A and B are shown apart, each in its own frame.
Chain A
Amino acid sequence: MPLSRRALLGTLAFVTLGGCAQTAAPLVEPVETQVVVFLPGALASQAKPLAAAYAATGATASTEVGHTPVQLEQLAQGATPDVWVAANPANMASAAAQGLVDAAGVTPLARTKLVVVLAPGNPAGVTALQDLAGDGVRVLLAAETLPLWAVTAQTLGKVEATRPGFTAAVLANTRSRELGVQPIVQKVTAGEADAGIVFVTDIGPGVETVAIPDALNTELTLSVAPVTAAKNPAGARAFVTFLTEGAGWELLADAGYLPPAP
Chain B
Amino acid sequence: MSAARAGDVAVFALPAAVLLALLALPLVALSGQALGGGVGPQLGDPTVVAAVRLSLVTSTLSSLVVVVLGTPLAYVLVRWRFPGRTLVQLVVDLPVVLPPMVAGIALLQVFGRRGWLGDAMAAAGVFLPFTTAAVVVAQVFVAGPFYVRAARLGFAGVDPAVREAARVDGASELQLFGHIMVPVARKAMLGGLVLAWARALGEFGATIFFAGNREGVTQTMPLAIFVGFESDLTVAVGLSFLLLVVSVGVLAAVWLLGDRPGE
Q: Which A residues are closer than 8 A to B by beta carbons?
A: 5, 8-9, 12, 15-16, 67, 69-70, 73, 138, 140, 143-146, 174-179, 187, 190-193
Contact = CB atoms under 8 A, between A and B. Distances in A.
Given A73-B229, A143-B213, A179-B227, A191 B112 contact: yes
Interface stretch (B7-15, B58-66, B68-76, B187-195): B7-15
10 contacts: A12-B11, A16-B14, A73-B230, A143-B227, A146-B230, A176-B130, A177-B215, A190-B108, A191-B112, A192-B113
B214 A176 contact: yes
A169 B113 CA distance: 23
Nearest to B111: A192
B8 A192 contact: no
Interface in B216-261: 218-219, 226-227, 229-231, 233
A70 B114 CA distance: 33
With most chain B CB atoms within 10 A of its CB, the pick from A16, A177, A193 is A177
A20 B113 CA distance: 55
B81 to A, nearest CB: 41
Nearest to B114: A191
Given A9-B7, A12-B11, A176-B214, 18 more contacts: A5-B7, A12-B15, A16-B14, A143-B230, A146-B230, A174-B214, A175-B130, A176-B211, A177-B219, A178-B212, A179-B213, A179-B227, A190-B108, A190-B114, A191-B112, A192-B113, A192-B114, A192-B130
A192 B214 contact: no
Contacts of A143: 213, 227, 230
Contacts of B14: 12, 16
Report the 6 A-B pairs with minimum CB-CB distance, sorted nearest first. Answer: A176-B212, A175-B130, A145-B230, A69-B230, A145-B231, A191-B114
Contacts of B114: 190-192
B176 to A, nearest CB: 46
A193 B208 CA distance: 15
With most chain B CB atoms within 10 A of its CB, the pick from A5, A9, A175 is A175
